[in-house]
Chain A
Amino acid sequence: MTTTPTEASPAAAPATSTASPLTRVLGTLSVVGVLLAGWLGLSASPRDVVQKDSVRLMYVHVPAVTWMYVAVFLCAFASFMWLRKRTDGWDVLAASAAEIATLLTGLGLFTGSVWGRPTWGVYWVWDARLTSTAILFVLLLGYQALRRYPAEPEARSRMAAVLGLLLVPNAAIVHFSVDWWRSLHQDATVSRIDVSIEGLMLFTLAVSFVVMGIVCSWLLVHRFRVGWLERQAERHHLDAALADRRADADPSAGVAVGGPR
């Protein structure tokens, strides 16, 4: 049996997802970018004289950690704005950025660890950079736990916003730890004008950095929309529950005769 699409049919209904023309463009660029970065990072770029092929981990480690800083600062900024404006949008943005920051911090620790084994001979040392990053990761995990804590929404958002602001000094300690303390971790490679890598390696790192930025932006837009939908769904659920309670309490509905006094 065939049906003809009408205005009420699913074919005519708005898209039931978090996708939009913007996310489709970002998604396509992400897939193409990941393929390009993969080819450049794993095949086209040369091996390092000292580190050999383990240098290829730089193309995933450095972009992940750099965008981690951006996500942490975005979370802190959105937290600050929520404390000022108290609107859902800033709260959802802070939660979304923190989730992506958690993911990137975990990736930074993991890729750094597997890069450290062939380079330093160990997966982990209690070095200033690694330890401060691990503390940041624990703080971000705490933030995720706080977001899922069954509390009154306003109080939960307020506590999360305060914790979101506290991430900034920790991120600053992570960044400057290699300058402030003697560290096994190398200094910043590309944050200065006189970069210490060049040629195709630098180009590959730049491409990986841009691709990671596009992927993170794509994820952030989707995650923000999911957070927004969660708020609306909770609101509808609450409205429906209140309507049910009112219907139950309404004498004209034929209930509550001789009910509790």
Chain B
Amino acid sequence: MLTSTVLAMTHAGYVAAGWIATFGLLGGYAATTIRKGRRLSQVVPPEERRWS
């Protein structure tokens, strides 16, 4: 439904590019950071992970 709403817009390509870039980049950064955190957590003792 949202896709058809966006396609019906004027300047749809610009709007889609801006929104996809924003949340795509933030989502990709979040995924990379979380994955890196999981990998590093394997090699650091639990007592040094103050949040766990």
Contact = CB atoms under 8 A, between A and B. Distances in A.
Q: Do A and B come from one complex?
A: yes
A15 B52 CA distance: 6
Contacts of A185: none
Given A16-B42, A114-B14, A229-B40, A42 B22 contact: no
Interface stretch (A124-132, A157-165, A220-228): A220-228
Contacts, number: 122
B40 A53 contact: no
Interface in B21-38: 21-23, 25-26, 29-30, 33-34, 36-38
Contacts of B36: 226
A226 B40 contact: yes
A166 B34 CA distance: 30
A229 B49 contact: yes
A153 interface: no
Interface string B1-35: 01001100111101101110111011001100110
B11 to A, nearest CB: 4
Contacts of A19: 34, 37
A20 B34 CA distance: 12
A71 B46 CA distance: 29
Nearest to A103: B29
A227 to B, nearest CB: 10
Is chain A's binding surface mostly helix, strand, loop or mixed? helix
A225 B29 CA distance: 14
A105 to B, nearest CB: 12
Nearest to B14: A114
A21 to B, nearest CB: 9
Given A43-B5, A226-B37, A114 B51 contact: no
A17 B41 contact: yes
Contacts of A39: 2
B37 A18 contact: yes
A13 B47 CA distance: 12
Interface stretch (A1-9, A55-63, A188-196, A246-254): A55-63
Contact of B34 (A18, A34, A64, A107): A18
Nearest to B21: A110
Given A14-B52, A42-B5, A34 B23 contact: yes
A179 interface: no
A103 B10 contact: no
B52 to A, nearest CB: 4
A241 B48 CA distance: 19
Contacts of B52: 14-17, 20
Contact of A17 (B23, B26, B38, B43): B38
Contacts of B49: 14, 225, 229
